[in-house]
């Protein structure tokens, strides 16, 4: 019998997620204890919650750098690994949470729906996401995936007064639980195929060929649901359209990061024993094509961004397929994924935070009509949206361009120039729908009365950070590229 001892390395590895969970619980308590019951409470900015959240996120970010070195250490009898890869992904998740919680006060008080649950839920979800990025056995992956999903279902239905919100949350719940069933079945098969191991590291060879392939396939399907890859994407547009815009932004970024981190670990572990490279590349191609084409004629911005998120999942699938190609598992190309995710963080949150600073009565300002003439009314917000759209489209000097550049370059170097061509063509198509809002903002007369939320200091700060990040990653990507290369070199399992 092994003795159960909580080692220092284990303590350091769980510290970031522990801080996030603790912050979530603290926020819940604070809202219950200090909330005065006056009717206007939901419209107050509740700065104490915002500041607590920001402090918690900063603390968790600092805790990431506590554990030292490039080594990857297996902890908790293999349930999780502390490596640079996991910490890189955790860093993106925590930054997304930090920016969201900065913006949440102004946004939620603006639409008159400010309750402590929102803050608590993003922190509880983020804690689970950080665990998922570090998880290396089937049980810890499953529990982390489910914990984060439960937080997301509630966030999607956060605004109970909107019909779309409840509808989106319910669709998300049904589809999410359905996909969890497949994920879990795949895990059971992997467990059976490996002869009784739940450790990712044991799935490399010696898997029962049939059971192992089916298991890997089912798990990939489960994660494809979570990241919204075609053909498992149908929930994404409804959920984004129904969710409050800031929650949609946080979901878009953080879920992708956590799910891709887990998917990468899993794929690296199983290797190409199941011939999954071709399948993943096929998913990448149809996801890029369908996401971008479906986004073309959307007039609801949240829905348009949902399809854009699907398309970006497609781009992110390319390195996964490349890493597996021809049976030789090559982790180097995964650096492209990590960099892309970091660029995606600032780009996507940029546009969602910018939209959060606008409102239309007590609704989100989320249609093309509603932002007409924004360039004249609120030039700075219009500028931030433009910058994010340009980066999403992948135009040079932005982080989005560098991310796409690295992925397409790796595809060409790996001998899959067709993937790069399809990626470039679909990116060009995407310029059309990304620039439509820009045209609406600058070249149309203001048609509706757009209101800007009061108490917008947090939104402004978050927008400043994302805009700076987009330009920084576009002009000086070297440091982050080096860090992502170092991260994937010693990917632990």
Partner 1 sequence: MFSLTACLYLSAFLFSVGIYGVLARRNILVILMSLELMLNAVNLALVAFGRAHAVAGAAGEHRGQVFAIMVLAVAAAEAAIGLSLLLLIWRKWRTIDVRDLCRMNG
Tell me how far apart the alpha carbons of residues 76 and 292 are, in angstroms, rounded to a whole number.
42
Q: Which is nearer to partner 1, 295 or 342 (CB)?
A: 295
Q: Which is nearer to partner 1, 99 or 306 (CB)?
A: 306
Which residues touch 481 (CB under 8 Å, ≥6 apart)? 335, 339, 406
Is residue 354 within 8 Å of 388, Cβ to Cβ? yes
Terminal alpha carbon distance of the chain? 24
Q: Which is nearer to partner 1, 181 or 361 (CB)?
A: 181
Q: Is 121 near partner 1 (CB under 8 A)?
A: no
Q: Which is nearer to partner 1, 82 or 164 (CB)?
A: 164
Min dist. Cβ of residue 180 to partner 1 (A)? 8
Tell me how far apart the alpha carbons of residues 272 and 325 are, in angstroms, rounded to a whole number.
8
Is residue 285 within 8 Å of 314, Cβ to Cβ? yes
Tell me how far apart the alpha carbons of residues 213 and 466 are, in angstroms, rounded to a whole number.
41
Helix, strand counts (H, E) of the chain? 18, 5
Min dist. Cβ of residue 174 to partner 1 (A)? 6
The interaxial angle of helices 116-134 and 245-270, nearest 10 deg, is: 10
- How far does Cα 366 stand from its chain's mean position? 20
* CA distances for 300 relative to 176, 307, 423, 437, angstroms: 24, 11, 25, 10
Q: Which of 83, 238, 364, 366 binds partner 1 (CB under 8 A)?
A: 238
Q: Which of 2, 36, 38, 445 binds partner 1 (CB under 8 A)?
A: 2
Q: Which of 298, 367, 467, 487 binds partner 1 (CB under 8 A)?
A: 298
Q: Which of 242, 291, 350, 403 binds partner 1 (CB under 8 A)?
A: 242
Min dist. Cβ of residue 198 to partner 1 (A)? 5
Min dist. Cβ of residue 154 to partner 1 (A)? 6
Q: Is 230 near partner 1 (CB under 8 A)?
A: no
The C-alpha torsion from 8 through 13 and 16 to 17, rounded to 10°, is -110
Q: Which is nearer to partner 1, 44 or 197 (CB)?
A: 197
Q: Which is nearer to partner 1, 215 or 458 (CB)?
A: 215
State the number of binding residues for partner 1 (CB under 8 A). Answer: 42
Tell me how far apart the alpha carbons of residues 74 and 87 are, in angstroms, rounded to a whole number.
14
Mask 190-219, x = binds partner 1 (CB under 8 A)? Answer: -xx--xxxx---------------------
Mask 254-293, x = binds partner 1 (CB under 8 A)? Answer: ----------------------------------------
Q: Which is nearer to partner 1, 207 or 455 (CB)?
A: 207
Q: Which is nearer to partner 1, 160 or 479 (CB)?
A: 160
Min dist. Cβ of residue 26 to partner 1 (A)? 21
Residues from 127 through 156 that contact partner 1 (CB under 8 A): 138-139, 142-143, 146, 150, 153-154
Q: Which is nearer to partner 1, 52 or 194 (CB)?
A: 194
Q: Which is nearer to partner 1, 21 or 173 (CB)?
A: 173
Is residue 64 within 8 Å of 19, Cβ to Cβ? no
Tell me how far apart the alpha carbons of residues 227 and 229 are, in angstroms, rounded to a whole number.
6
Q: Which is nearer to partner 1, 129 or 473 (CB)?
A: 129
- DSSP conformation letters of 135-167: B-BHHHHHHHHHHHHHHHHHHHT--TT-HHHHH
Min dist. Cβ of residue 459 to partner 1 (A)? 26
> How many Cα atoms within 13 Å fall on the side-chain side of residue 316?
31
Mask 151-190, x = binds partner 1 (CB under 8 A)? Answer: --xx--x--x--xx-xxxxxx-xx--xx-xx--xx-xxx-
Min dist. Cβ of residue 442 to partner 1 (A)? 26
Segment 43-47 long-range contacts (CB within 8 Å, at least 24 positions apart) = 43/109, 43/112, 43/114, 44/109, 44/114, 45/105, 45/106, 45/109, 45/114, 45/454, 45/455, 46/105, 46/109, 46/114, 46/116, 47/105
Given its phi and psi angles, is residue 68 left (phi above 0), alpha (psi -120 to 50 degrees) or beta? Answer: beta
Q: Is 297 helix (H, G, I), strand (E, B) or coil?
A: coil
Q: Which residues of the shown chain bind partner 1 in the complex (CB under 8 A)?
A: 2, 138-139, 142-143, 146, 150, 153-154, 157, 160, 163-164, 166-171, 173-174, 177-178, 180-181, 184-185, 187-189, 191-192, 195-198, 237-238, 241-242, 298, 303
């Amino acid at each position: 019998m092994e003795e159960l001892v909580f080692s220092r390395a284990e303590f350091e590895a769980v510290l970031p997620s522990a801080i996030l969970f603790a912050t979530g619980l603290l926020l819940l308590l604070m809202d219950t204890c200090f909330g005065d019951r006056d009717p206007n409470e939901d419209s107050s900015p509740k700065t104490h919650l915002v500041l607590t959240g920001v402090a918690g996120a900063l603390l968790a970010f600092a805790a990431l750098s506590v554990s030292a070195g490039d080594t990857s250490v297996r902890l908790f009898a293999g349930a999780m690994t502390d490596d640079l890869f996991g910490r890189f992904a955790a860093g993106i998740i925590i930054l997304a949470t930090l920016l969201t919680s900065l913006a949440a006060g102004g946004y939620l008080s603006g639409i008159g729906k400010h309750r402590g649950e929102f803050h608590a839920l993003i922190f509880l979800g983020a804690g689970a996401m950080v665990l998922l990025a570090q998880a290396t056995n089937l049980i810890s992956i499953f529990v982390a995936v489910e914990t984060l999903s439960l937080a997301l279902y509630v966030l999607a239905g956060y605004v109970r007064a909107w019909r779309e919100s409840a509808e989106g949350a319910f669709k998300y719940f049904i589809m999410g639980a359905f996909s969890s069933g497949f994920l879990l079945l795949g895990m059971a098969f992997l467990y059976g195929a490996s002869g009784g191991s739940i450790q990712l590291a044991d799935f490399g060879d010696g898997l029962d060929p049939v059971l192992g392939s089916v298991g890997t396939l089912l798990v990939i399907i489960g994660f494809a649901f979570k990241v919204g890859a075609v053909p498992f994407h149908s929930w994404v547009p409804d959920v984004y359209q129904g969710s409050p815009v800031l929650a949609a932004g946080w979901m878009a970024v953080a879920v992708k990061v956590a799910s891709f981190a887990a998917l990468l670990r899993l794929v690296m572990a199983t290797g190409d024993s199941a011939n999954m490279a071709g399948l993943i590349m096929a998913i990448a191609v149809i996801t890029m094509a369908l996401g971008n084409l479906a986004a073309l004629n959307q007039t609801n911005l949240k829905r348009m961004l949902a399809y854009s998120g699907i398309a970006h999942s497609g781009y992110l699938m390319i390195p996964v397929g490349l890493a597996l190609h021809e049976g030789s598992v090559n982790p180097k190309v995964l650096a492209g994924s990590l960099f892309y995710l970091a660029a995606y963080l600032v780009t996507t949150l940029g546009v969602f935070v910018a939209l959060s600073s606008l409102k239309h009565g007590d609704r989100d300002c989320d249609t093309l009509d509603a932002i007409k003439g924004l360039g004249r009314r609120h030039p700075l917000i219009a500028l931030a949206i433009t910058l994010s759209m340009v980066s999403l489209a992948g135009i040079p000097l932005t982080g989005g361009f560098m991310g796409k550049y690295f992925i397409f370059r790796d595809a060409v170097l790996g001998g899959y120039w067709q993937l790069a061509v399809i990626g470039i063509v679909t990116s060009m198509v995407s310029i059309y729908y990304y620039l439509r809002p820009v045209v609406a903002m600058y070249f149309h007369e203001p048609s509706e009365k757009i209101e800007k939320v009061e108490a917008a200091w947090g939104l402004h700060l978050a927008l400043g950070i994302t805009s700076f990040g987009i330009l920084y990653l576009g002009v000086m990507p070297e440091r982050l590229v080096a860090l992502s290369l170092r991260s994937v070199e010693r990917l632990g399992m």
